[in-house]
Amino acid sequence: MRRLPRKSDEAIRFKARDLGIVSLGHTYARQWEEQEWQLLHQNRHQLPLELMQLFPDRSLSSIKNALIRLKRSNGQGTRPAGSASSKKVTIAWTKSEKAILLRWYETSKTMGEILAMLPGRPRASVFAAANKLGLFRPLSDWTEKEIQILKDHYPKEGPAVVKRLPGRQRRTTSQKAAQLGLRMNSSTPRHTWSPEDWERLEKHLHLSFPELQRLFPGRSLSSLKNACNRVRARRKAEYEG
């Protein structure tokens, strides 16, 4: 990360996730701690994208897998079976520690820098304390103009608003919208597939879903999967007929 001095750790991680890059020994493989399971249990009814604000160093797939494991353990607020466990004494947060969180948690300071100010506090404990204080980590440096574009157009356009935000990725745009509490209007008509869309999809059906999402930036992953299944089913019917 020293090769990109102007980018925060979080911004680099989110960009790497968008590009599908995973480094060996990354946090994706890190065990979930007891406090993380408890925090996840308390907020288990939130959407995975919203939960990323509570667990900024966890990937979306890691959170989804943890939710599945939590559900299989009957929703208990304890570590699911099969995870390493150990008894830990909870130490109350001091006023000075809370002041550090209030001052720096929502800034561009990296988590490493914040943890250095809080010796003895593990990441999970910091995330849990920040959640109680109503604090969120910034996804990246968003300008006031970009935020206003989101507020003006996301309710009607949803993820397709990324077309109005050059340089932004669909995933981080949806995450920022969730952080701002933005939702699509229920009355918004569904984006139907045009003949040109179907033709383009058939032409690129061999591509992976991440590649297809870049080809169809206004389409959700579920929409693309359903469309691909329809194309394959039609091809199969034509072949068998």
pLDDT band at 100; cut points 50, 70, 90: very high
The predicted structure's pLDDT at residue 68: 85
H helices within 34-83, ranges in order?
34-42, 48-51, 60-72
Share of the chain above pLDDT 70, in %: 77
Contact 151, 184 (CB under 8 A): no
Higher pLDDT, 14 or 176: 176
* pTM as predicted: 0.36
In the chain, which ranges are E strands? none
Instruction: Give the chain's length.
Output: 241
pLDDT band at 90; cut points 50, 70, 90: low
Highest-confidence range of 27-41, 75-89, 121-135, 187-201, by mean pLDDT? 121-135
DSSP 163: G
End-to-end CA distance of the chain: 56
The predicted structure's pLDDT at residue 118: 92
The predicted structure's pLDDT at residue 149: 93
pLDDT in tens, 160-214: 898 898 877 777 788 788 777 788 776 545 567 788 888 889 999 888 888 888 8
pLDDT in tens, 225-234: 888 888 888 8
Q: Which of 32, 46, 47, 40 is nearest to 77 (CA)?
A: 40
